[in-house]
Chains A and B, each alone.
Chain A
């Protein structure tokens, strides 16, 4: 029973490029959450999605960031025109329902050079 799978584990992008982070939830889970973590800090909520729907994007920056969770395939967090301040670990979590326990993937560490 595979856990939450994120890829790539490490991603290096030059300023101005696009970053695409992928998340495959656990089997049977239809709720996906994206969080961002800066060094030695807690996780900050970004967005909450169900299949084909964005439920809560209150933590997403207004520009350059978008997320989707299509009917088929993984959830994608997309960052356009990356800047150095986007460097962080991005974690995806999934759960079977809204108020149920969430399980995290291993994260994608984005470095913008």
Chain B
């Protein structure tokens, strides 16, 4: 059972285009984290969203947590080749410690 569904799983776009990655669940999370992972490396934390409806911006990246804290999105404006990588969302539940990961979105940005 996949508790967190990410879509799309693969995305190949041209430099300068915009894109959105979705992370959906039927479960409520106390917080949701977005990570970026490059081949051969560990996931690097990009952002944590905690409050329903919260929006956080990190340069060209905009993260949103759904009002019901069941879903999240990552929007990248004017994608660059350096954005290429695997993007992972991960949900946390109170008092459990562990993260539940989506299956990831592989993004390729062509110059």
Contacts and interface: CB of A to CB of B under 8 A. Distances in A.
Contacts, number: 71
A56 to B, nearest CB: 6
A98 B44 CA distance: 19
A106 B42 CA distance: 4
Interface in A18-55: 31, 33, 35, 40-45, 48, 55
Contact of A104 (B43, B86, B98): B43
Contacts of B31: 99
Interface residues of B, number: 29
Contacts of B1: none
Interface string A93-108: 1010011011111110
B30 interface: yes
Contacts of B6: 42
Nearest to B50: A99
B92 A42 contact: no
B94 A99 contact: yes
Nearest to A41: B103
Q: How large is the interface on A (under 10, 10 to 19, 20 to 34, 35 or more residues)?
A: 20 to 34
A93 B98 CA distance: 10
Interface string B34-55: 0100001111110010000000
Given A55-B97, A99-B94, A105 B42 contact: yes
Contacts of A31: 97
A91 interface: yes
- 10 interchain residue pairs of minimum CB distance: A42-B101, A104-B42, A45-B98, A42-B103, A43-B101, A98-B97, A106-B42, A48-B97, A104-B43, A42-B104
